[in-house]
Homo-oligomer: A and B are copies of this chain.
Amino acid sequence: MKRSEIEEAQRLLGACSLFNGLEKEERRTLVERAKLRSFSAGQTIFSMGSPGNSMMAVLSGSIRISIPSASGKELVLAILKAGQIFGEIALLDGKERTADATAATDCRLAVLERSDVLALLDRHPSAWLKVVEVLCDRLRRTDQQISELALLQLPVRLAKTLLRLAEDSASSSPHGIEIQFSQRELGNFVGATRESVNKCLGDWQRAGILHIEENVIVLTDRASLQALASIESER
């Protein structure tokens, strides 16, 4: 591993909420012990059910966390970007991975082994709190996802996820915020089919809330979408 790479990885790990409490020195030893790995878009990083002794921090690119179903369908739980971590559950409790992780784009990861992480936590017990915060955050997210899935109907769920995607998407054109997911992928987010998503988006385009151009959805009227998302329409 080159010196420059190490330095960059160190800087990037500093961006992780998990590690930004550490002193520089600690971060350096952590990076030294970590394996840096690259994946190209579409590659699978790990699969649900496999044993997992490591966790990953995203250095660049984005990662897709999903749960597969028996027959090809899948539900996307999250898209992770630089500075976020994943795979920590299996590392912490020593059991199987609970979901699939695949590279959504080309990406680079820092892979940390269980023994290294536990050793670090041993030296710095205060870091446990960070770990716990990450887990709590995950739990809040999944709890919310559960209730939405069970209690809200498709248009509301779709509106909510569009807004969420809009929030952590850097790319905004002059006309509005751009979202770059295929309709099939949006379906995987909200637990619906490609066709249903298409119809919903079509309606909204006709209503002037957004428009669809060349594999990109442009949100023009965010307020209306927010209204749609907070309608108490249930199943």
A76-102 interface with B by 8 A CB criterion: 77, 89, 92-93, 95, 98-99
CB-nearest residue of chain B to A137? B93
Q: Are B128 and A132 in contact (CB under 8 A)?
A: yes
Instruction: Report whether B99 and A143 are in contact in the complex, using a CB–CB cutoff of 8 Å.
Output: yes
- The total of chain A residues at the interface (CB under 8 A) is 39
Q: Are B143 and A70 in contact (CB under 8 A)?
A: no
Contact between B121 and A232 (Cβ–Cβ < 8 Å)?
no
Min CB–CB distance A51 → chain B (angstroms):
14
Contacts of A71 in B (CB 8 A): 232, 234
* Contact of A138 with B140 at beta-carbon distance under 8 Å, contacts A75-B147, A191-B150 already known: no
Contacts of A152 in B (CB 8 A): 69
Partner of A146, one of B67, B89, B95: B67
Residue A194, interface by CB 8 Å = no
9 nearest A-B pairs in the assembled complex, by CB-CB distance: A70-B232, A125-B125, A150-B191, A128-B128, A93-B136, A69-B151, A135-B135, A67-B147, A142-B142
